[in-house]
Structure 1
Amino acid sequence: MSPVIVVATISPKPGEEAAVRDAVLASIPEVHAEPGCGKYALHEATGDSTDLVMIEKWESMDALVTHGRAPALTALGKAIGGLLAAPLDVKTFTAVPAGDANLGAI
């Protein structure tokens, strides 16, 4: 099976940026321990945006589906659901390796 890459954009409501960021950060250690988690890394937008972007790598679509039902993600959804300006924007991808194998794919 091919690894699955996820890019999830989280858009906090104005004034809720710190609460959303803290809730996401609190969930990370538990997600890192989930089976099939190869990467679960939070990034903050630069400039005027307050968006957060989670870049994830799961060993398979099955692992990602399991993650979607796991306690950490369920609790995170409850914690931030009312703090978001828009629904989560979650997209999945498969790599198109190119060039150096260590640099050309996540």
Structure 2
Amino acid sequence: MAVIVVATITPQPEHADAVREAVLTAIPQVHDEPGCQRYALHAGQDGRLVMIEQWESPEALAAHGKGEPFSALSRALEGKLAGAPELQVLTAVPAGDQAKGAI
């Protein structure tokens, strides 16, 4: 079953552009990782960046966390965030219309 991750990244205001660029640079590399079904960036009105991820399996998510794109992004963000990224790892609970009731 697919694993959904919501990762919220809060840049320090003076590093907002650098953080956004680092994440945008990582996205194509993550898209090429085995098991990546979705890795989509969203910007909040308060400056936070929210990544919505979908991984084929817990194993694919674990491999992502050990992979070079994730490591490179972590290095690029070092010292530029207001705190550690907030991560929520979720399992879908499909309901209603199959096309609309789950990611």
Q: Give TM-score, length-normalised by structure 1.
A: 0.95
Letter in 1 for 2:27: I
Distance in 1 separating the partners of 2:30 and 2:84: 21
How many angstroms apart in 2 are the aligned matches of 1:81 and 1:4?
Answer: 26
1:55 aligns with 2:38: no
Question: Aligned letter for 2:43?
Answer: E
Residue number in structure 2 paired with 1:9: 8
Distance in 2, matches of 1:38 and 1:102, equals 16
Residue from 63, 66, 69 that aligns with 1:69 = 66
Return structure 1 stretches of 4+ with deviation > 3 angstroms.
none
Give the unaligned 5+ runs of structure 1: none
RMSD: 0.5
Aligned residues between the structures? 103
- C-alpha distance in 2, partners of 1:3/1:59? 5
Unaligned 5+ runs, structure 2: none
Q: % of aligned pairs identical?
A: 53
Under a length normalisation based on structure 2, what TM-score does the superposition of the two structures give?
0.98
- Residue in 2 aligned with 1:21? 20
The residue identity in structure 2 corresponding to 1:8 is: A
Aligned to 1:79: 76
